[in-house]
Amino acid sequence: MSSSATAVLFDAPGPRARLRNNILTLVGVIIILGVAYFVWARFSEAGQFDSKLWTPFLDPGVWQGMILPGLVGTLSAAALSIVLALLCGAVFGLGRLSDHWWIRWPSGVVVEFFRAIPVLLMIFFAQAGAFELFGYTMPAFTAVVIGLTLYNGSVLAEVFKAGILAVPKGQSEAAYSLGLRKGGVLRLILLPQAVTAMMPAIVSQMVVALKDSALGYIISYEDLLNTGFRQLPNNFGNLVPAAIVISLVYIVLNLALTYLATALERRSRRSRKSTAKPVSLAAVTGGTSTGE
């Protein structure tokens, strides 16, 4: 049956199709290599690969005085916003499941409103709005955390809602038949299983928050991106090398979080502690998970 199902879904290519695919693959590789060589040649002509531009990255003082403080700024904003977003997501996610319309409707309005606004706009509004309304100059760190919290909290509210709804109804019906109230069913039956199902989506949203923290560059927040595109080039005139190194740092951070999300997803699929299916972040957000 498996072989027949595979044949229905996918037809094995014949000799001509394989030849055509190989030719197209070869052409694609040649084009990519050509573009890469063109970029490398232009950077080389501009002297961006001179050793003097890369030497600062061998100096521990540069890492301790510029890059590591920027990294701490990025991780601090992302970590605090994730904690606050989890709290907001839990509150509004449970609010969307409330039996009372006066809780359910406002929760839905808040979630949909902040999901629809770009993170950068919320960061701008947090800082500029505080000054216009109260004459208070909000620190860049606070504005970044507010913007990230509002957007990621609204997405995580949908994750919490989807995680609880992913638990089969028979679980709650059995609990009600034993005499448990709704609060007890939620606390003892639904949430423990929903957390297992939600964990991959929550970690995936942490990756989004980490990347979106770079938007603080626009309001001069002292983060990793600010270090790579302002401080290092201003001191050493090495914009391209700095961008490459900072990009590698971001890639390592995101790969580590992505690996964690993948491991948690595999673990949740094998876990017998939950009857709920793992929640997909793409399904919750409609295929998009960024507020940029």
Reported as a single tens digit per residue, the pLDDT across 3-38 is 444 444 556 777 888 888 899 999 999 999 999 899
User: Which range (63-72, 80-89, 165-174, 257-266) has the least confidence?
Assistant: 257-266
68-96 mean pLDDT:
94
Nearest CA among 194, 229, 216 for reference residue 97: 194
Is 8 inside any structural domain?
A: no
Reported as a single tens digit per residue, the pLDDT across 34-47 is 998 998 888 888 77
Reported as a single tens digit per residue, the pLDDT across 110-130 is 999 999 999 999 999 888 888
CA distance 241 to 223: 18
Q: What is the CATH number of the domain that holds 74?
A: 1.10.3720.10
Reported as a single tens digit per residue, the pLDDT across 93-113 is 999 998 889 999 999 999 999
Question: Is the pLDDT confidence value at 53 over 90?
Answer: no
Token digits of residue 76: 């601090």
134-150 mean pLDDT:
91
The answer to whether residues 71 and 226 touch, using CB atoms and an 8 Å cutoff, is: no
pLDDT at 52: 86
Q: Given pLDDT bands bounded at 50, 70 and 90, which one contains residue 272?
A: low
Is 29 inside any structural domain?
A: no
- Provide the angle, in degrees to the nearest 10, between the axes of the packed helices 140-165 and 191-212: 150
Residue 113: count other Cβ atoms within 10 Å of its Cβ: 11
Is 46 inside any structural domain?
A: no
Residue 119: count other Cβ atoms within 10 Å of its Cβ: 24
The three-point CA angle 237-238-239 to 5° equals 105
Token digits of residue 162: 């989807």
> Domain range for residue 258?
60-285
Tally of structural domains, the chain = 1
Mean pLDDT of the chain: 84
The answer to whether residues 188 and 269 touch, using CB atoms and an 8 Å cutoff, is: no
Is 4 inside any structural domain?
A: no
142-171 mean pLDDT:
91
Is 24 inside any structural domain?
A: no
SS (H, E, C) 170-238: HHHHHHHHCCCCHHHHHHHHHHHHHHHHHHHHHHHHHHHHHHHHHHHHHHCCCCHHHHHHHHHHHHHCC
254-275 mean pLDDT:
71
Is 48 inside any structural domain?
A: no
pLDDT at 119: 93
CA distance 17 to 188: 56
Tokens 């997803």 locate to 265
Classify residue 148 by burial, with Cβ atoms within 10 Å: 0-12, 13-18, 19+. Answer: buried
The answer to whether residues 69 and 205 touch, using CB atoms and an 8 Å cutoff, is: no
Is 183 inside any structural domain?
A: yes
Model-wide pTM > 0.75: yes
The three-point CA angle 213-160-207 to 5° equals 25
Question: Is the pLDDT confidence value at 189 over 60?
Answer: yes
Question: Is the pLDDT confidence value at 208 over 60?
Answer: yes
pLDDT at 254: 86
Is 240 inside any structural domain?
A: yes
